[in-house]
Amino acid sequence: MVYTIISLLIIGAILLIDKRKLKKYKNSKDLWVYFGILGLGFVLLLIHSSGRTLPTPLYWISAVLKPIISIF
């Protein structure tokens, strides 16, 4: 619960800092990119704060490259 509140505070702080820039680019497609990345970050932050372990991208990299490296 505490971590979730901290996550919400982090997102709130980000939006507050970017408030002026968000107003400047109102109705622009730049905001889609901004909220796309921010949304992804928010979802990951909430999952992490709920105590679930997020998978590291290195697992996928290892899974793909290990068989190739073993050839050499």
Partner 1 sequence: MLENGKISVRQFTVLVALYTVGTAILIIPSILAAKAMQDIWIAGLIGLGSGLGLVFFYWKISERFQFMNLVEILEKCFGKWIGKAVAFSYFTFYIFILSTFVLRDIGDFMLTVMMVETPIEAIHIIFLAVVLYGVKLGLEAFTRTTELFLPWIVILFVVLFITLLPQIEFTNILPIMENGIQPVLRSSLSFIVFPFLELVVFLMIIPYVNEPKKTKKAFLLGTALGGGLLILIATLSILVIGVTETARSIYPTYDLSKTINIREFFQRVEAFMALIWFITVFVKLVVLTYALCLGMASVFNVQDYKLLTLPIGLLLYIVSLVIFPSSTYLIEFTPIYDFYAVLWMLMPVFIWLVSLVRGKPV
Chain positions contacting partner 1, by CB under 8 A: 10-11, 14, 17-18, 21, 25, 28-30, 33-34, 37-38, 40-42, 44-45, 48, 53-58, 61-62, 65-66, 68-69
Number of other CB atoms surrounding residue 45 within 10 Å: 18
3-state SS assignment for residue 54: coil
3-state SS assignment for residue 52: coil
In the structure encoding, which two tokens stand for residue 10, read together? 């982090």
- Name the residue nearer to partner 1 (CB basis): 5 or 44: 44
What's the min distance (Å) between Cβ of 56 and partner 1?
5
- Name the residue nearer to partner 1 (CB basis): 1 or 57: 57
